Amino acid sequence: MIIIFHKDVTEEQIQNALRKIQTLGYTPHLSRGAVKTICGVTGDDRAIDESEFDQLPGVESVLRVLKPYKLASREFHPDPTAVDIGGTAVGAGSFTVIAGPCSVENEQQVEQSAALVARLGLKIMRGGAFKPRSSPYSFQGLGEQGLQILSSAAKRHGLSVITEIMSEHDVELVARYTAIFQVGARNMQNFALLKALGETRTPVLLKRSMMGTIEELLLSAEYVMKGGNQNVILCERGIRTFETQTRNTLDIAAVPVIKRLSHLPIIVDPSHAMGDWHYVPAASLAAMAAGADGIIIEIHPEPAMAKSDGKQSLNFPHFEELLTRLRDLAPHLGVSVR
């Protein structure tokens, strides 16, 4: 951290700041320049809150030098991390395609989806049993029954399951059925849930919230990792902007930015980002080209009849066609589709 003082700072104000730094257990290094007086601070300053300093009398601004996250950072862990999901490594030069319905509706729908996913050579199926819905009157998911349907279809077809967890209460329950927890966008900063997941060793897919910065996403990953669970996969699923043609705005740059800042795998959710299946193939191809480690995508045997997100779900022929295109493209981008 570097503290830059106002040009008219008084000696007393400088001494006051030095005292505060020492009180907090850090070492100040004062440097009186011709233009500005500046104070460097050594020690791991991640625990320091800039707001503890920038309102001190005489202080003009405070510059953080260390990134506020550590375990999630590329500096701390230079090599990319691969997260193992039931034997499939996400992030090690592969492009993982996770597919399945938005929500579990009934056995037939899940069975059909699982059969397709397996037939196409994929390894992980998505499906929601607990659904975060803006309205309490909307379909909230089948709960544990949904988990059972999902899990048995997956077993029959040799797939791993990823499903959403919405409550600390459900950690144990959901862990019995899933290979990886999905934390939805609305819970990216549900710190109680993140801490609870940090105490497990089950992998976590952490979705960026629709108004979360990339730095906040990495800090939320840090909550899980600080608890001891290093198996975190990040997910860009679109942020909220003024544009209304798509449900959200896919921040495709999040992929290379996160690749540079962090060692964690980053995948893209083109379905929620677009909100309209017409645009999902373009977004999926763009995700691969931008360097993402995979996609998580919504499919449905009959989208027009889906209980939720039908508009953004690919039907089976469209999904198969997209997968063919992704597989064609993959070797030219140095990855293989799994």
Residues numbered 7-46 forming contacts with a copy of itself, rule: CB under 8 A = 20, 29, 31, 33-36, 38, 40-42, 46
Phi, psi of 204 (to 5 degrees): -130, 125
The residues in 62-81 that bind a copy of itself, with binding defined as CB under 8 A, are 63, 65, 68-69
Residue of the chain from 56, 92, 115, 171 that contacts a copy of itself (CB under 8 A): 56
Instruction: Check residue 190 for interaction with a copy of itself (CB under 8 A).
Output: yes
- Residue 144 sits in the site that holds a copy of itself (CB under 8 A): no
Q: Is 202 in the site for a copy of itself (CB under 8 A)?
A: no
Does position 210 interact with a copy of itself (CB under 8 A)? The reply is yes
Structure tokens at 211: 């108004």
Which range in 80-88, 120-128, 171-179, 238-246 contacts a copy of itself by CB under 8 A? 238-246
Q: Near a copy of itself by CB under 8 A, which window of 109-117, 152-160, 175-183, 210-218?
A: 210-218
Among 150, 290, 297, 337, binds a copy of itself (CB under 8 A): 290
The distance of closest approach from Cβ of residue 67 to a copy of itself in the complex, given in angstroms and rounded to an integer, is 10
Q: How far apart are CA 305 and CA 303, in angstroms?
A: 5
Q: Per-residue DSSP letters for 122-167?
A: --EEE-BSS---SSTTS----THHHHHHHHHHHHHTT-EEEEE---
Strand 204-207 relative to strand 88-90: parallel, antiparallel, unpaired? Answer: unpaired
Binding status of residue 327 toward a copy of itself by CB under 8 A: no
The answer to the question of residue 173 lying near a copy of itself (CB under 8 A) is: no
Backbone angles phi, psi at 310, to 5 degrees: -55, -35
Q: For a copy of itself, which is the closer residue by CB, 128 or 212?
A: 212
Residue type at position 94: S
**Token representation of residue 272:** 């929620």
Q: Which helix (H) or strand (E) holds 16?
A: helix 11-23
Separation CA 31–CA 115 (nearest Å): 67
Q: Rule CB under 8 A: is residue 181 a binding residue for a copy of itself?
A: no
CB atoms within 10 A of CB 139: 12
CB-based contact 204:232 (threshold 8 Å): yes
Query: Which of 201, 253, 321, 324 touches a copy of itself (CB under 8 A)?
Result: 253
Please state the closest distance from residue 269 (CB atom) to a copy of itself, in A.
13
Site membership for a copy of itself, residue 129 (CB under 8 A): no
Q: Is 60 in the site for a copy of itself (CB under 8 A)?
A: yes
In a 3-state reduction of DSSP, which class is residue 264? coil
| Rounded Cα gap, residues 150 and 109, in angstroms | 10
The phi, psi pair for 308, rounded to 5°, reads -155, 150
Nearer to a copy of itself, 211 or 336 (CB): 211
Nearer residue to a copy of itself within complex by CB, 88 or 209? 209
CA distances from 176 to 125, 229, 274, 303, 317 (A): 16, 17, 32, 29, 32
Q: Is 172 in the site for a copy of itself (CB under 8 A)?
A: no
Residues 11, 78, 87, 304: which binds a copy of itself (CB under 8 A)? Answer: 304
Residue 299 sits in the site that holds a copy of itself (CB under 8 A): no
How crowded is residue 259: how many other Cβ atoms within 10 Å of its Cβ? Answer: 18
